[in-house]
Amino acid sequence: MDSFYRQVDEGRFESLPTTAGPWSPHAQHAGPPSALLARAMAGHEPRTGMRLADVRLDILGPIPVVPLTVHVETVRDGRSMQLLQATASADGVPVAVARSWRIVRAPDDFPRLIGRRAGDVGAVPEAAGTGHLEMPGAHTHGYLQAVEWRMVEGGVGQGGVTVAWGRPLVPLVAGEDITPWQRTLVLADSGGGITLTLDPRRHTYINCDLHVALDRDPEGEWIRMSSQALASPGHGGTVHTTLADSRGELGTGLQTMVAQNTRS
């Protein structure tokens, strides 16, 4: 495993086997594509003193493990905030679209607001087992092997509430260091995976989007995810994730889940 993608041309990327999600070797986990689109938006006509504040990904269908073409545009321009949009296409067909607000950084002396955040999120636990998620019937030779997890609480099959530290084991794009935002997005889409409790042979619980907002850029190689899966019979589901690094909590993730019974 060397990376999730290899850039082959301006705006064009080869999707490597590491992008394959847990349910098929032919469909990507949404974490790497969301990070790839964030990379494109962060690099689009960059301005000193500005940062990505959030990334909202809409998954338009299964994202195949094939070359992706990425296009970026500015939807709304301004001195203190810009709305950017990036689209990933496979064989000319859009498969994912992301939007992000790029905002001017707050002054260093701006008042600190902490709300109800936890004062201490603890340390990364010692390694135990393989460090990889084990999911029933999963394809294990793609994304699941490219990410290491260390569980604090819960886990797959443990009731839908999980606290875990994770880190990608490979770069996003070959030859580049992974950035804090990229690292976070590679992991954030796994909120529904680390909390998986439903038997995938009887029920599907798959997200159609991902929204991550960070008020502070992450530090270090590990990201802590405190995730809870929710479902209301007759309606739908969501997965809520609180994101943190070694300094403490820094943002949130939200996934809209399509909750269905499998077809017999």
Q: 123 in a domain, yes or no?
A: no
Q: 191 in a domain, yes or no?
A: yes
Domain of 95, CATH number, reads 2.40.160.210
Q: 184 in a domain, yes or no?
A: yes
Q: 50 in a domain, yes or no?
A: yes
Query: Which pLDDT score, from 0 to 100, does residue 36 have?
Result: 98
When divided into structural domains, the chain yields a total of: 1
pTM summary value = 0.96
Q: Where are the beta strands (DSSP E) in 169-235?
A: 203-207, 209-214, 223-232
Q: Is pLDDT of 263 > 90? A: no
Query: Which pLDDT score, from 0 to 100, does residue 60 have?
Result: 97
Q: 113 in a domain, yes or no?
A: no
Q: 225 in a domain, yes or no?
A: yes
Instruction: Say which range, 49-58, 85-94, 100-109, 118-127, has the weakest mean pLDDT.
Output: 118-127
Instruction: Say which range, 47-51, 97-101, 111-115, 118-122, has the weakest mean pLDDT.
Output: 118-122
Tell me the residue range of the domain where 9 lies.
5-105+132-261
Closest CA to 173 of 161, 186, 164, 190: 186
Q: State the Cα–Cα distance between residues 51 and 253, nearest whole angstrom.
A: 18
Instruction: Report percent pLDDT > 90 for the chain.
Output: 88
Q: 146 in a domain, yes or no?
A: yes
Q: Which two tokens stand for residue 250?
A: 């820094």
Q: Is pLDDT of 30 > 90? A: yes
SS3 content of the chain, % helix, strand, coil (to 5): 10, 45, 45
The 10s digit of each residue's pLDDT in 37-95 is: 999 999 999 999 999 999 999 999 999 999 999 999 999 999 999 999 999 999 999 99
Q: 100 in a domain, yes or no?
A: yes
